[in-house]
């Protein structure tokens, strides 16, 4: 990684988001940039924070907890999102330390997070991960099982978790049109759930390689790692 480049990389990613918004008639302030800091250290997060970035995504619970701890002095102005797989036995520290979890793919996880979210904190914001490309190796709920899960999570009592939307990691594709198809499919799933009475406002989709396609299809939150922090080891 070239030192001092995080600020300029952030500017370039925002320029790409703005261009994709302009190309699709969207207002640029409807897309949140989540900086994916997995494998990068707290100093990199500090540098991005100094450049104005506030929302950060992490994949690995243990790595994230250490980083969140080391950046405790910035906690009030940071938002931490878990975007990697979550095991049932790791829900408690996640419920205590994070603001968002994007990878809910079964009711049990949401139930545990709801039970474990400390009362003094705002509700934990949740997205359901959908296996939108139908890849056997990918986690996420199958589209056919999504409505039942979404209604069950939205109906959890107690107000400790709030269902915000859907997240997906589509199969990589080189061409813009091929990239757009799975993002369009995820957007259609959100619209269908809202037509059934839910009030989802978040589409977590788009990464370094396909953020334009995702924004054109309605992404409200792009998760960008390597284009900000550099290639991962
Ligand atoms: C690593 C990761 C990203 C960021 O990927 P880049 O290609 O580096 O932008 C986004 N979402 C998830 C779920 C990831 O694991």
- The pLDDT tens digits for 15-38 are 999 999 999 999 999 999 999 999
| Structure tokens belonging to residue 214 | 């995702």
Tell me the C-alpha distance between 201 and 188, whole Å.
Answer: 13
Chain segment 58-107, per-residue pLDDT in tens = 999 999 999 999 999 999 999 999 999 999 999 999 999 999 999 999 99
5 CB within 6 A, ligand 1: no
Instruction: Answer whether residue 188 shows pLDDT above 80.
Output: yes
Task: Indicate the SS3 state at residue 214.
Answer: helix
The Å distance, Cα 109 to ligand 1 centre, comes to 22
Spell out the domain ranges in the chain: 6-229
Q: What is the pLDDT of residue 1?
A: 45
Positions of E strands within the chain: 32-36, 55-58, 79-82, 100-104, 124-129, 161-167, 202-204, 221-224
* CATH for the stretch 6-229: 3.20.20.10
Tell me the C-alpha distance between 200 and 22, whole Å.
Answer: 24
Which of 208, 153, 196, 203 shows the shortest CA–CA distance to 182?
Answer: 203
Which protein residue has the closest C-alpha to ligand 1 atom 5?
225
21 CB within 6 A, ligand 1: no
Q: What is the mean pLDDT of residues 30-50?
A: 98
- pTM of the predicted model as reported, rounded to 2 decimal places: 0.97
């Amino acid at each position: 990684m070239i030192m001092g480049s995080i600020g300029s990389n952030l500017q370039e990613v925002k320029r790409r988001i703005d261009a994709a918004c302009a190309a699709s008639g969207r207002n640029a302030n409807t897309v949140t940039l989540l900086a994916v800091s997995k494998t990068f250290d707290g100093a990199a997060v500090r540098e991005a924070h100094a450049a104005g970035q506030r929302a950060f995504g992490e994949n690995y619970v243990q790595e994230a907890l250490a980083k969140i701890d080391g950046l405790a002095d910035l906690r009030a102005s940071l938002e931490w999102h878990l975007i990697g797989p979550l095991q049932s036995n790791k829900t408690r520290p996640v419920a205590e330390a994070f603001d968002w979890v994007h990878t809910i793919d079964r009711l049990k996880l949401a139930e545990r997070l709801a039970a474990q979210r400390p009362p003094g904190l705002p509700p934990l914001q949740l997205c359901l991960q959908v296996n939108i490309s139908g890849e056997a190796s990918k986690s996420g709920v199958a589209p056919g099982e999504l409505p039942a899960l979404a209604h069950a999570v939205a109906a959890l009592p107690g107000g400790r978790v709030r269902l915000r939307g859907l997240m997906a990691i589509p199969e990589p594709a080189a061409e813009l049109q091929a990239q757009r198809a799975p993002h369009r499919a995820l957007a259609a799933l959100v619209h269908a759930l809202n037509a059934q009475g839910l009030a989802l406002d978040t589409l977590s989709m788009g990464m370094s390689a396909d953020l334009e396609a995702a924004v054109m299809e309605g992404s409200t939150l792009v998760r960008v790692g390597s284009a900000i922090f550099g290639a991962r080891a």
